[in-house]
Chains A and B, each alone.
Chain A
Amino acid sequence: MEEKMEFIVTAMEKAPVYIISDNIITSLGFGTQANIDKISDGQTGVQCHNDASIYPTPVWVSKITASNLSPAAAQLSSPEKYTKLEQIFLLSVAEALQQTSVDITSKDTLIIIASTKGNINLLGDPGNFSSDRVQLGTMAEQIQSYFKNPNKPLVVCNACISGVLALDVAKRLLRKNKYKNIIVTGGDLVTEFTVSGFQSFKAMSDAPCKPYDKNRSGINLGEGAGTMILSTEKPSSKNNIITIEGGASSNDANHISGPSRTGDGLFNAIRKALNDANCLSSEMDYLSMHGTATPYNDEMESKALGLADLLHVPMNSLKGYIGHTLGAAGIIESIVAVHSLKNNSLYSSLGFEEHGVTLPVNIITRNEKKQLQKCLKTASGFGGCNAAVVFAKQNIKSEQG
């Protein structure tokens, strides 16, 4: 009884965190809807690139071409002052901002940036830019000053969980009422730096990636940005309001690059995130997984889902559509998950054909309309880190999709 009381008290103390706007930029398109339309159509942005500036031999990656970026970047004031990644960040934040009345110049608005390598393509050859632009802090200041935001931006640099973790950091700060609005934006590029590194790890697939498939052979890298604007103020619309209900991170304490064999680390993050959201695993309607398509990662995830009693819940990985966008992945994939909830739509896990993990996870093999209320987003990365967040739709009865 005492425990129950405590449970209610904590539940009441947690101020709601509303997702009021979002934007996705990837090779599939500029804008959330453009990306979701392509995903819904089963189209992929992953292609074979025979480009010596990425890698000496052809590689399968998802890249934003200059012919797509340049006309979009022309909308920015003085686009030439910004690097490719900065342009993508600025476009993503600007478009997400346009859909809201958030005052980005207010002291109540913070920018959080998630990135693993930022402007790493400038290392050793900064071109027209100053060499310190390779510093994540300096890149963040460019974004901050473009929008005339008065607060020093936070940069979360935490390997492949950066995006999901940045959302959890924002949740924490909003619950404490430190800010009214937080703009969380994540981005990374496909560069020779990362491609060659993942190649040395024998982690790159030499074909479109196949998360959870028996014949999966590794990742496809991708580039892009995702922006989510979070607020403590309830949006005016009555329907389809999505909140971040909970989140958590954990460490495997096992190995700096190899995922845990048991999945206990990711399980810990999931368990804590559900707890934070005051949710049971049985309430989850959908799981947006990390699913990189490396043999060990996907296997580990299946073990974690087994431990969390989530094997029956429909799940997918979006890596087959947009590749692994590193620091952007957690935010882009969270945005798609949020729209899955809004549209009551489950999207097929592209690349999956034949079951290839030990436990019977419920992989979505074709698009489906289904009433959805709550979902879980997970990520795991180098350094043994894991993160999970829970999203929920606030209206009980939504119109039939």
Chain B
Amino acid sequence: MDELIEKLKVQIIKQLNLEDVEPDEIDADEMLFDADGELGLDSIDALELIVLLDKEYGIKIKNQEEGKQIFHSLKTMAEFILQHQD
């Protein structure tokens, strides 16, 4: 799980072009889409995370609503991947 979270941090920084963010700066429990959050992610980033799950983990998500719960934090994302990976 921890290993997956570390891997996700690097993948997210790359996929979302988070130029000035270091992996250590993202907390596994922190809300990814907090309006006042440091990452400043928006709706396009949420869609990019859907692409990331498809591309890197072969998991398809139908709509943004479904994504909302999955992308709550890095931890929920990692849990979701572990549950749904073949």
Contact = CB atoms under 8 A, between A and B. Distances in A.
Given a CB threshold of 8 Å, the question of whether A touches B is answered with yes
Interface of A: 200-202, 217, 255-258
Given A202-B63, A202-B64, A257 B50 contact: no
Contacts, number: 16
Nearest to A257: B44
Q: Describe B's contact surface by its main secondary structure.
A: helix
Closest 7 CB pairs of A and B: A258-B43, A202-B63, A202-B64, A257-B44, A201-B47, A202-B47, A200-B47
A258 B47 CA distance: 12
A255 B47 contact: no
Q: Describe A's contact surface by its main secondary structure.
A: loop
Contacts of B47: 200-202
B26 interface: no
A201 B51 CA distance: 10
B38 interface: no
Contacts of A201: 47
5 contacts: A202-B47, A202-B50, A202-B64, A256-B44, A258-B43
Interface residues of B, number: 9
Interface string B29-43: 000000000000011
A82 B68 CA distance: 46
Contact of B42 (A202, A217, A255): A255
A207 to B, nearest CB: 13
B43 A257 contact: yes
Choose among A201, A202, A255 the residue with the greatest number of B CB atoms under 10 Å from its CB.
Answer: A202
Choose among A200, A217, A255, A256 the residue with the greatest number of B CB atoms under 10 Å from its CB.
Answer: A200
A340 B64 CA distance: 37
Contacts of A258: 42-43
Interface of B: 42-44, 47, 50-51, 62-64
Contacts of B63: 202, 217
A225 B72 CA distance: 43
A360 to B, nearest CB: 24
A294 to B, nearest CB: 10
A326 B21 CA distance: 37
B42 A200 contact: no
A200 B51 contact: yes
A256 B47 CA distance: 14
Nearest to B61: A202
Contacts of B44: 256-257
A66 to B, nearest CB: 33
A217 B63 CA distance: 9
A257 B48 CA distance: 13
A256 to B, nearest CB: 8
Contacts of B50: 202
Contact of A255 (B43, B51, B62, B64): B43
A169 B50 CA distance: 39
A255 B40 CA distance: 13
Nearest to B64: A202
A27 B62 CA distance: 29
A200 B52 CA distance: 11
A302 B5 CA distance: 41
A382 to B, nearest CB: 11
Given A257-B44, A258-B42, 6 more contacts: A200-B47, A200-B51, A202-B62, A217-B63, A257-B43, A258-B43
Contacts of A255: 42-43
B65 to A, nearest CB: 9
Contacts of A256: 44
B45 to A, nearest CB: 11
Contacts of B62: 202
Nearest to A255: B42
B15 to A, nearest CB: 13
A156 B22 CA distance: 41
Contacts of A202: 47, 50, 62-64
A202 B64 CA distance: 7
B66 to A, nearest CB: 10
B31 to A, nearest CB: 19
Contacts of B42: 255, 258
Contacts of B64: 202
Nearest to A218: B63
Contacts of A217: 63
A202 B44 CA distance: 11
A201 B44 CA distance: 8
